[in-house]
Amino acid sequence: MPQLPKRLLSIDVLRALTMFLMIFVNDADGIKQIPEWIGHAPGDADALGFADTIFPAFLFIVGLSLPFAINNRIKKGDGPVQVLFYIFIRSAALLIMGFYHVNLEGYDEATAPLLKAVWALIITTAFFLIWMDYPETLAKTRKNLLIGLGVAILLAMAIIYKGCDDDEVARGMRPGWWGILGIIGWAYLACAVLYYVLRKKLAYLVTCWAALIALNIIGHSMAPKFRLWLVGDGASEALIMGGIVASRLYALLAEQGKPQRLWATFITIGIGLLAAGFAIRPFAQGISKIHATPAWVLICSGITLLVFLLFIYWVDVRGNKNLFNWIRPAGTSTLTCYLMPYFQVFILKLFITKYPDVINTGATGLLRSVLTSFVLIALVGLMEKKHLRLKI
């Protein structure tokens, strides 16, 4: 058996595939006459749709890559202040974007000065201005002006925002559930700080993972309303911390030169997570992404860990990384890929364009979603070459 590489290309490949599938399932939402299992399960159902497995997989992958990113900062000579500042800045960027995105849901075109599509396109453009991976050759003054312009645009959009809930009471912007990026931001903040403090002992990280899972179980069984500050019911944090533990466990076994133990250990943990998820299902509000139940956390963690193990073998051990070049930008410019559908969707809405039934129904509709995912990722690949990508 070949030795395990210390740098895992499989994480980038798995991240790319997950982002491809995220674009696909979001685009496929609303297509008529397709199997129900492809989409999200209803909020009141004890069920797991294919789409329900994508976001938790992404959180788990955040955990897989987090130790490498922080360890690289430490190797470069960053001390505690610099590392914690790096963590807070990344979290703040995700929280700000999530905050604006979640307020799209309650945007009231009847009272707001801008169409919802225009407001959405403007804030997404501002995100690029603020967090663009500007080339080093760009003059610092020009870079700061562009960033300042982005900040000014976001502030202006917040001032003119008009929202309205089901009770028809007008309101300004508010956090709500923080959006997908906001959820990632809060969970990343908690887990990154925990990792930095406890990184030297794998046992401490495993204990944190177990504690977060226990918190999630308690919050969905014995004390349904119990939530902790910052981490809530611990679901998102448990997914990220699971990835952190897997990443550190891999690093430990790679250093020891014990590939056989890796396969046995990861398979055992993966199957154990699946079994635990199904075992807890009847006692902790079933399987539900909407409610972030323990069964959802455990089952999706197990699935992602086993798929990750498969990718380690296929990509890192067997060297098949080039097979995924067609979606590579989704792994290297993931946040950019995530934001691209906002341009796609709201440009279509701006021009009141709807897909004809022939490409919004059944197999042809799914084919459209696959092609849309490919096109957006290919476009991001072209943008990368011009430094038109986000970096936080």
- Per DSSP, 163 falls in state E
Q: Which of 65, 48, 55, 52 is nearest to 18 (CA)?
A: 55
From 268, 270, 271, 266, select the one nearest 317 (Cα to Cα). Answer: 266
Looking at residue 2, its pLDDT comes to 58
How far is CA 20 from its chain centroid? 12
> What pLDDT does residue 1 have?
47
CA angle in degrees (0–180, nearest 5) for 216-217-219 = 65
Single out the residue of 35, 38, 15, 42 nearest to residue 27, CA to CA: 38
The phi, psi pair for 170, rounded to 5°, reads -65, 145
List Cβ neighbours of 370 (8 Å cut-off, separation of 6 or more): 24
pLDDT at position 39, please? 93
Q: Residue 28: which region, alpha, beta or left (left: phi > 0; alpha: psi -120 to 50)?
A: alpha
Boundaries of every domain in the chain: 9-65+227-385
* Backbone conformation region of residue 7, classed left if phi is above 0, alpha if psi is from -120 to 50, else beta: beta
How far is Cα 156 from Cα 339, in angstroms, rounded to an integer? Answer: 20
pTM for this entry: 0.94
Residue 6 has what pLDDT?
64
Average pLDDT for runs of 10 along the chain of length 392: 70 96 95 94 93 98 96 94 97 97 93 95 98 92 97 97 80 89 97 96 97 97 88 96 97 84 95 98 96 98 97 90 90 96 94 88 96 97 92 91
Residue 341 corresponds to which tokens in the numbers above?
A: 């559908």
What pLDDT sits at residue 387? 86
Are 266 and 254 a contacting pair, CB within 8 Å?
A: no
